[in-house]
Amino acid sequence: MAMPPVALGIDVGGTKILGALVDDEGTVLQQQVVPTPKEDEPLLHAIVGVARGLLDGAASDLPVGLGFPGLITRDGVARYGPNISLREFPLRARLEAELGRAVLVDNDATAATWAEFVIGAGREARADMLMFTLGTGVGGGLVIGGRIVRGSQGFAGELGHLIIDVDGASGPSGIPGELEAYSAGNAIGRMANHAFLQGHFIGTLLEGPVAPTGEQVTWGALQGVEPAIEILARAGRYLGIAAAGLVNCLDPELIVVGGGAGAAGDLVLDPARASLADHVLGPTHRDPVPVVAAGLGPEAGAIGAAFLAAEEGRD
Amino acid sequence: MAMPPVALGIDVGGTKILGALVDDEGTVLQQQVVPTPKEDEPLLHAIVGVARGLLDGAASDLPVGLGFPGLITRDGVARYGPNISLREFPLRARLEAELGRAVLVDNDATAATWAEFVIGAGREARADMLMFTLGTGVGGGLVIGGRIVRGSQGFAGELGHLIIDVDGASGPSGIPGELEAYSAGNAIGRMANHAFLQGHFIGTLLEGPVAPTGEQVTWGALQGVEPAIEILARAGRYLGIAAAGLVNCLDPELIVVGGGAGAAGDLVLDPARASLADHVLGPTHRDPVPVVAAGLGPEAGAIGAAFLAAEEGRD
Same structural domain, B31 and B139? no
> Does A95 map to a domain?
yes
Listed in order, strand segments (DSSP E) in B171-260 are 254-258
**Same structural domain for residues B190 and B59?**
no
**Contact criterion met (CB < 8 Å) for A145 and B144:** yes
Given this model, what pLDDT does residue A206 score? 52
Nearest Cα of chain A lies from the Cα of B56 at a distance, in angstroms, of 36
- List all residues 6 or more positions away from A52 whose beta carbon is below 8 Å from its beta carbon: A99
CB distance A233 to A273 below 8 Å: no
Residue in B165, B171, B202 with CA at minimum distance from that of residue B184:
B171
In a domain, A119, yes or no: no
pLDDT the model gives residue B168: 87
For residue B22, being part of any structural domain is answered with yes
User: Looking at beta carbons, which residues of chain A come within 8 Å of B162?
Assistant: 162, 245-246, 248-249
Q: Which residues, at least 6 apart from A20, have a Cβ–Cβ distance to it below 8 Å?
A: A8, A9, A10, A11, A28, A29, A30, A31, A32, A54, A299, A302, A303, A306
Domain assignment of residue A145, given as a range? 124-293
Same domain, B107 and B134: no
> Would A87 be classed as within a structural domain?
yes
Residue B250 lies in a domain: yes
Q: State whether residue A194 sits within 8 Å of chain B by CB.
A: no
Q: In this structure, are A80 and A151 located in the same domain?
A: no
How many Å apart are CA B283 and CA A63, to the nearest integer? 33
Rounded Cα distance, B10 and B31, in Å: 9
User: How near does any CA of chain A get to the CA of B181, in Å?
Assistant: 13
Question: In this structure, are B153 and B286 located in the same domain?
Answer: yes
Sign of CA dihedral A114, A120, A126, A128: negative
> What CATH code is carried by the domain that includes residue B224?
3.30.420.40
Element (H, E) at B190: helix B185-197
* CB neighbour burial string for A286-298, b if at least 16 within 10 angstroms, e if fewer: beebbbbbbebee
A151, A227: one domain: yes
Of B157, B84, B152, give the one whose Cα is nearest residue B116.
Answer: B157
Evaluated on CA atoms A237, A242, A243, A247, the torsion sign reads: positive
Contacts (Cβ under 8 Å, ≥6 apart) of A85: A38, A39, A40
Task: Give how far B315 is from chain A: nearest CA, Å.
Answer: 16
Residue B150 contacts A where some CB pair is shorter than 8 Å = yes
A166–chain B Cβ distance below 8 A for any pair: yes
Residue numbers in chain A where pLDDT is lower than 70: 1-2, 82-83, 171, 197, 199-211, 261, 314-315
Residues B302 and B284 in one domain: no
**A180 in contact with chain B, both atoms CB, cutoff 8 A:** no
Q: Total structural domains in chain B?
A: 2
**Does A107 reside within a domain?**
yes
Same domain, B37 and B99: yes
Is B119 within the bounds of a domain?
Answer: no
CB-closest option in A87, A173, A251 to B155: A251
Q: Which residues of chain B have pLDDT under 70?
A: 1-2, 82-83, 171, 197, 199-211, 261, 314-315
Instruction: Indicate yes or no: CB of A71 within 8 angstroms of CB of B281.
Output: yes
Give how far the C-alpha of residue A176 lies from the chain's centroid of Cα atoms, to the nearest Å. Answer: 21
Q: What is the ipTM of this complex?
A: 0.94
DSSP A178: B
B217 and B276 in a single domain? The answer is yes
Residue of B nearest to A241 (CA): B163
Whether residue B175 and residue A280 make contact (CB cut-off 8 A), yes or no, is yes
Instruction: Classify residue A177 as left (phi > 0), alpha (psi -120 to 50) or beta.
Output: left
What percent of chain B lies above the pLDDT cut of 90?
A: 69
